[in-house]
Structure 1
Amino acid sequence: MGIRQERRSPHHKGEVVQGTTLADAAVRAGVRHLVYTSVGGVERVRGIPHFDTKWEIEQHVRRVGLPYTFLRPTTFTDVFTAKGAVLRLGMMGAVLGRDKPLQMVAVRDIGVFARMAFADPGRYLGKEIELAGDELTVPEIAELLGMRRYPKVPKAVLRLFGKESRMLFWFGESGYRADVEALRALHPGLLTLKEWLALSR
């Protein structure tokens, strides 16, 4: 299930070209294990541009018969300390409300799982693993960040972002489904947001 060429932005089209070209080169080189970082929920939702491109790359890797492990991270913890974090939290609050949690993962833990996959291909070859180290509501995230308040962004404003807003609405409709408990059994050092913030400050 691909994305029609005319509907891709140059960035998304370029990502697909890079990913499929790399996969083809890996096949020619006889690579025995590709670990590809995709995105959580990529198999469950269409219409989010940067999800669709990663799904197309995953499908191509399967078609060419390249042995793989797909790591599918959820929201990066880094977004909560990056520029615009307050507004981003308000946008998430618009679709998640006060009670629906958001799953997240530290980038360093994605690297840990990549290392584990290469070290133990017998366990990880042919697997798709959704990655998260924590799941918190927007008020819980705000408290950890020391935000007494964050803007209430109307859903009508989010819709002005077009296709890029689809991801936010998906968070509220369905969202990520990583099994955090099972992941922590594999990697006991998997970071929560609180732990990641302590290490980052």
Structure 2
Amino acid sequence: MKLSHKTVVVAGATGLQGRAVTHHLLRDGWHVRALTRDPNGTQATALAQTGAQVVRAQMEDVDSLVAAAEGAWGLFSVQPTVGSPGTAPDFSTEDEVRWGVNVAEAAHAAGIGHFVFTSVAEADRHLDEKLPANLVSKWRIEQHIAALDLPATILRPVSFMENFTGGYALRNGNLSTGLAPEVPQQIMAVDDVGAVAALAFARPKEWIGREISLAGDELTPVQIAAAIGKALGIPLPYVQVPIDAIRALSEDFAYANEWLNTDGYRADIPATRKIRPATMDFGTWLEPTGASQIAAFLDSTRIAGQDA
């Protein structure tokens, strides 16, 4: 089978990470096969307009993944976690693991030359301590990639800055999460993950076999709220959601917040900047995109409230 050394398959292409990876790969001159279950969807159409080849494939269907990967050299894999936008209400960690395993199996079957998987920071601490379910699921996928002996790079980013742009954190005129107000949290812009993934594909000899944690900044929730408020010119108090209230909805999500408030991510921010000097801190991320995304969300909720 002849491999195209300029073709990278992107699984999860219409999600935040997939779109960022596709953007950077196309900008660097790669041919991208963007996989999606709905080639006619809004995000898929937008990817096609930027030059990606949109291909129908589903992460629960290994055969469709193998067919989409045939002849490509690289493959980027990311799976949604429980509660991610667009996932079914009954989507579980077992579904996430199965999808990640399926993509890895397809890469193995297609003879992919470089497999880049986005996991999560601290997933490798699984053997030493109890971790939140979303970290354990990523670790299980990592272990399957290793068992297949794929020529792989594992990227482990911390929480995303984009988590603060919508209803997950913006409610009733406040920034509000289960995170303790004064506990520093490591965060990173999704675009920077896309850039590092593209760098890994561009330098396979340097990157195959690497497992690297990534972070761009470390701020308390109070500092994050203040930075957003300053960027938008509005007061934005931070209010912590009681863990017991979160536990009433999800024990796993409650534990994840407790873990972040006590142990949390420990990525090396200077090391990330050494890899990508342009890695954004939170203030830099707010300037080009973050503030406008947050403003658009607040405007939409304000209009919705007026119409109610």
Q: TM-score range by the shorter chain?
A: 0.7 to 0.9
2:188 to 91, 105, 122: 105
Q: Where do 5+ consecutive residues of structure 2 fail to align?
A: 1-89, 230-234, 293-308
How many residues were matched structurally? Answer: 190
The alpha-carbon deviation at position 120 of structure 1 amounts to 1.1
Distance in 2 of aligned mates of 1:167 and 1:184: 27
**Larger % of strand: which?**
2
Contact 1:16 1:54 in 2 (8 A): yes
Distance in 2 of aligned mates of 1:12 and 1:123: 32
Distance in 2 of aligned mates of 1:152 and 1:92: 5
1:153 aligns with 2:234: no
- Aligned residue in 2 for 1:5: none
Distance in 2 of aligned mates of 1:10 and 1:90: 25
Distance in 1 of aligned mates of 2:187 and 2:178: 13
The alpha-carbon deviation at position 185 of structure 1 amounts to 1.6
Contact 1:86 1:150 in 2 (8 A): no
Distance in 2 of aligned mates of 1:148 and 1:111: 30
Local SS of the residue matching 1:151: strand
Distance in 1 of aligned mates of 2:244 and 2:205: 48
- Aligned residue in 1 for 2:142: 58
Distance in 1 of aligned mates of 2:253 and 2:167: 18
- Aligned residue in 2 for 1:75: 159
- Aligned residue in 2 for 1:162: 251
Distance in 2 of aligned mates of 1:150 and 1:10: 30
Structure 1 ranges of 4+ moved more than 4 A: none
Contact 2:178 2:242 in 1 (8 A): no
1:134 aligns with 2:240: no
- Aligned residue in 2 for 1:189: 278
Contact 2:97 2:137 in 1 (8 A): yes
* Partner AA of 1:126 in structure 2: G
Contact 2:178 2:240 in 1 (8 A): no
Distance in 1 of aligned mates of 2:271 and 2:131: 29
Question: RCO greater where, 1 or 2, for CA within 8 Å and sep 6 or more?
Answer: 1
1:35 aligns with 2:116: yes
Q: Where do 5+ consecutive residues of structure 1 fail to align?
A: 1-8
The alpha-carbon deviation at position 89 of structure 1 amounts to 4.7
Distance in 2 of aligned mates of 1:177 and 1:47: 14
Q: Percent identity?
A: 37
Local SS of the residue matching 1:177: coil
The alpha-carbon deviation at position 80 of structure 1 amounts to 0.9
Distance in 1 of aligned mates of 2:268 and 2:259: 18
- Aligned residue in 2 for 1:91: 177
Distance in 2 of aligned mates of 1:171 and 1:164: 11
The 1:144–1:58 alpha-carbon spacing in structure 2 relative to 1, beyond 3 Å, is: same
Local SS of the residue matching 2:162: helix
The 1:19–1:180 alpha-carbon spacing in structure 2 relative to 1, beyond 3 Å, is: same
The alpha-carbon deviation at position 61 of structure 1 amounts to 0.4
1:44 aligns with 2:125: yes
* Farther off after superposition, 47-56 or 22-31: 47-56
The alpha-carbon deviation at position 184 of structure 1 amounts to 0.7
Distance in 1 of aligned mates of 2:253 and 2:155: 22
Distance in 2 of aligned mates of 1:176 and 1:15: 21
The 1:89–1:43 alpha-carbon spacing in structure 2 relative to 1, beyond 3 Å, is: farther
Local SS of the residue matching 2:116: strand
> What root-mean-square deviation, in Å, do the aligned CA atoms of Structure 1 and Structure 2 show?
1.9
Local SS of the residue matching 2:283: helix
Structure number with larger C-alpha Rg: 2
* Partner AA of 1:134 in structure 2: D
